[in-house]
Amino acid sequence: MDQICFVMPLENGMTDDARAFMRELQTRRSEYEASLQGGGITKEAWFLTEIPTGDALVAYMESPDLDRGLTMFAESQEAFDLWFKRRLAELTGIDLNEPAEEGLFEVLSSYEAPAGVRS
């Protein structure tokens, strides 16, 4: 399973807008799930944190083929995906219409409990 976690600093003054974006994402749950499933993303979580330069969004994703999923999302012209990419760009200045460079992130450590050990 491929994993990725990345930090996206928010533009100044966009913290409340980031919270509103995530609330809206939950109201559009069926579109959100369809987008993730279409790209083969099996798990995604978003967090808000503070870094030395201000607030930031942290995203975590899992997929059997993350490179393929991220490329499909970057190239997608589906209405929900375009909305998502536009909103994220407004918040962070990051354009997700460009596919991520392969090997952009290096996983240094990962652990998953064996199926029989999980509670």
CATH match of 2-100 with 3.90.700: no
Tens of pLDDT, residue by residue over 2-53, are 888 989 999 999 999 999 999 999 999 999 999 999 989 999 999 999 999 9
Domain ranges of the chain: 2-100
| Cα 65 from Cα 39, distance rounded (Å) | 9
Tens of pLDDT, residue by residue over 59-87, are 999 999 988 888 899 999 999 999 999 99
Tell me the pTM: 0.86
Return the sign of the alpha-carbon dihedral for residues 115, 105, 43, 53: positive
